[in-house]
Amino acid sequence: MARLYLTTPIYYTNDAPHVGSAYTTVNADALARFHRLLGDEVLLLTGTDEHGQKVADTAAAHGMDPQSWVDQTSAKFEAAWRQLGISNDDFLRTTAPRHRATVQAFLQQIYDRGYIERGLYEGLYCVSCEDYYTADQLDEDRCPIHGRPVVEMAEENYFFKLSAFEEPLLAWYAANPTAIQPEAKRNEALSFIRSGLRDISITRTSIRWGVPVPWDDAHVFYVWYDALINYLTAIDYGRDPERFAHWWPSVHHLIGKEIVRFHCVWWPAMCMAAGIDPPAKVSVHGWLLTGGRKVSKTIAAEGETPLKLTDISLSGLVEDLGADALRYHLLRDTPLGPDGEFSAEAIDARYNADLANNLGNLAARVATVVGSKCGGIGPAPDPDSPLRTLAAEVVDEAVLAWRGFQPHHGLEATWRLIAAANARLEAVAPWKLEPGPEVDAVLGDALEVLRLVAILASPAMPTKCAELWGRLGLDGTPTDHPLFEVSGWGGYPGGLAVHKGDPLFPRRR
Ligand code: MSP
């Protein structure tokens, strides 16, 4: 059985989740669900990144102690993911005792192996990124990502000897040429490594809100150093060697493009320093944009009107559209890789075209005609249906696409099958014919297509697909059996009571 340990980044708890955070999480969830459908063993991890200066500052600005603040904010992420139907197997909070213990054990290991030493750090720091910049990386003296002023920091602290890993990292990437997807992001990581790696400061004395350094309690770990280790905490690094070996290093990290350096340079080097293998795969996606700008929790340049998707309430959007329709839109309209513009117009256009018209209409029309011509009992499909070959091609194409982390392509293929079933219904027009074998064949084929679609689209729209499944008169759910057992043409048995019900996707605007 294949195995997939899939992770999202853990989200900063300075604010509630927004559509940008939902984009990563929904993609990870749908990919995990597709792999479960394939019969793979899956562990889906997400969580919240709760330490660091940004969170401490935000808590203070709200007159709260950091722990109460992160408790409240982390709960908003959990609630949002429940509302969106996210099927994570674990939710990791970096303030949890199990994480603190893992961070300390892992970094103690690196320290003992001689890759951490004391030094003086002086540099320019962006609190929003929780990251350092050199003067030439700044954009008119401001952080190139957030457009905010940077602060000068000078601290005596501990450094990770990243410079020792230039050669090992290059050798590892040469031996693992597909470890980072897409290729452009691999090249970005490689050119960063080739440009020369400097040691990085990994502890702080200026703040207390972090995991204490086990060998020197005047220091806490820098938030990124604590955060990356979440991927090990969840699989019991240092606590359960058997479980750890089961999931590591065959992990797959799904991340946004702004955190490539952390995941593709620092993190594999940290793993090497601790004596474990680097993560096997990192897939990098782009940003959702509004008006061409990144959707983010942090306000853009001061004084500028924020153009933020954060101003759109995620829960309001889910209430308006429904969780499954929002999931479908995120998966179908912004392929993993490039940036994509997020807009209300695009949501409505996609919803009306694919969900209300294409899928919704097929389901409603078939149920109506089964009612009027077949007494409400769905006929079996034609074994020699003209849709049979296309259905087999679509299943293969969808599997390849989802396996290749391209949900938009998997869904696009699936919708081609729906369109073909609709076109055939139009052409044969069973509503104009007398009941008989021709009517039975075209309706049975359409029911079979709906059965296959309920399975193939279930990773994107788990609730709606289960509902569709029930309306076809089928027992259980679309995900009860591994895909390859149920994806052959002819699985719809016929003789089942078909229910029309309310429209699955009522038209919008
Ligand atoms: N806490 C760090 C990650 C630590 S992982 C060990 C962090 N958090 S974050 O909340 O700022 O962002 C987490 C992820 O949210 C990003 O990598 C990205 O995947 C996603 N997104 C945040 N805004 C986004 C968009 N506008 N569009 C798409 N994804 C976005 O970085």
Write out pLDDT tens, residues 75-117: 999 999 999 999 999 999 999 999 999 999 999 999 999 999 9
Q: Can you read off the two tokens belonging to residue 507?
A: 């038209």
Question: What average pLDDT does the segment 342-355 reach?
Answer: 93
* pLDDT tens by residue, 153-181: 887 889 999 999 999 999 999 999 999 99
Residue 504 covered by a domain: no
CA nearest to 35, candidates 351, 342, 410, 324? 410
Residue 507 covered by a domain: no
The residue whose CA has the least distance to atom 25 of ligand 1 is 20
Using the predicted structure, report yes or no on whether residue 11 has a pLDDT greater than 90.
Answer: yes
Regarding whether 241 and 304 lie in a shared domain, the answer is: yes
Decide whether any atom of ligand 1 lies within 6 Å of the 294 Cβ: yes
Q: What is the CATH classification number for the domain harbouring 360? A: 1.10.730.10
Instruction: Give the ligand 1 atom nearest the CA of 254.
Output: 19
Decide whether any atom of ligand 1 lies within 6 Å of the 74 Cβ: no
Regarding whether 368 and 281 lie in a shared domain, the answer is: no
Total domains in the chain come to: 2
Regarding whether 353 and 294 lie in a shared domain, the answer is: no
Ligand 1 centre distance from Cα of residue 466 (Å): 31
Residue 293: its pLDDT value, please? 59
Decide whether any atom of ligand 1 lies within 6 Å of the 255 Cβ: yes
Out of 270, 288, 320, a domain closes at 320
pTM for this model (two decimals): 0.93
The residue whose CA has the least distance to atom 26 of ligand 1 is 295
* pLDDT tens by residue, 200-216: 999 988 889 999 999 99
Residue 260 covered by a domain: yes
Instruction: Give the ligand 1 atom nearest the CA of 289.
Output: 26
Residue 243, strand partner residues: none
The length of the chain in residues reads 509
Residue 98 covered by a domain: yes
Ligand 1 centre distance from Cα of residue 155 (Å): 27
Question: What average pLDDT does the segment 16-40 reach?
Answer: 97
Distance (Å, whole) CA 439 – CA 371: 12
CA distances from 292 to 79, 121, 339, 342, 423 (A): 29, 36, 9, 9, 37
Instruction: Give the ligand 1 atom nearest the CA of 296.
Output: 23
Regarding whether 308 and 183 lie in a shared domain, the answer is: yes
Decide whether any atom of ligand 1 lies within 6 Å of the 287 Cβ: yes
Residue 338 covered by a domain: no
Regarding whether 252 and 384 lie in a shared domain, the answer is: no
Regarding whether 405 and 292 lie in a shared domain, the answer is: no
Q: Can you read off the two tokens belonging to residue 25?
A: 């999480």
Using the predicted structure, report yes or no on whether residue 382 has a pLDDT greater than 90.
Answer: yes
Residue 302: its pLDDT value, please? 46
The residue whose CA has the least distance to atom 16 of ligand 1 is 256
Residue 325 covered by a domain: no
Regarding whether 448 and 304 lie in a shared domain, the answer is: no
Do 198 and 300 contact (CB within 8 A), yes or no? no
* Domain boundaries, position 447: 344-497
Regarding whether 389 and 488 lie in a shared domain, the answer is: yes
Regarding whether 281 and 212 lie in a shared domain, the answer is: yes
Buried residues in 309-345 as b, exposed as e (16+ CB within 10 A): bbeeebeebbeebbbbbbbbbbbbbbbbbeebebeee
Residue 508 covered by a domain: no
Distance (Å, whole) CA 324 – CA 316: 14
Residue 206: its pLDDT value, please? 82
Regarding whether 409 and 445 lie in a shared domain, the answer is: yes
Decide whether any atom of ligand 1 lies within 6 Å of the 21 Cβ: yes
Decide whether any atom of ligand 1 lies within 6 Å of the 131 Cβ: no
Q: What is the CATH classification number for the domain harbouring 159? A: 3.40.50.620
The residue whose CA has the least distance to atom 13 of ligand 1 is 11
Distance (Å, whole) CA 101 – CA 94: 10
Decide whether any atom of ligand 1 lies within 6 Å of the 116 Cβ: no
Site to substitute for ligand 1 among 15, 148, 257, 259, most atoms within 8 A of C-beta: 259
Q: Summarize the chain as % helix, strand, coil (round to 5).
A: 50, 15, 35
Residue 137: its pLDDT value, please? 87
Ligand 1 centre distance from Cα of residue 392 (Å): 37
- Residue type (1 letter), 376: G
Out of 286, 320, 354, a domain closes at 320
Out of 320, 352, 378, a domain closes at 320
Ligand 1 centre distance from Cα of residue 18 (Å): 10
Residue 311: its pLDDT value, please? 74
CA nearest to 11, candidates 69, 86, 92, 84? 92
Regarding whether 349 and 298 lie in a shared domain, the answer is: no
* 277 band by pLDDT with thresholds 50, 70 and 90: very high
pLDDT averaged over every residue in the chain: 94
Residue 284, strand partner residues: 255
Regarding whether 220 and 110 lie in a shared domain, the answer is: yes
Which residues have a Cβ under 8 Å from the Cβ of 206 and sit 6 or more positions away?
53, 153, 155
Residue 326 covered by a domain: no
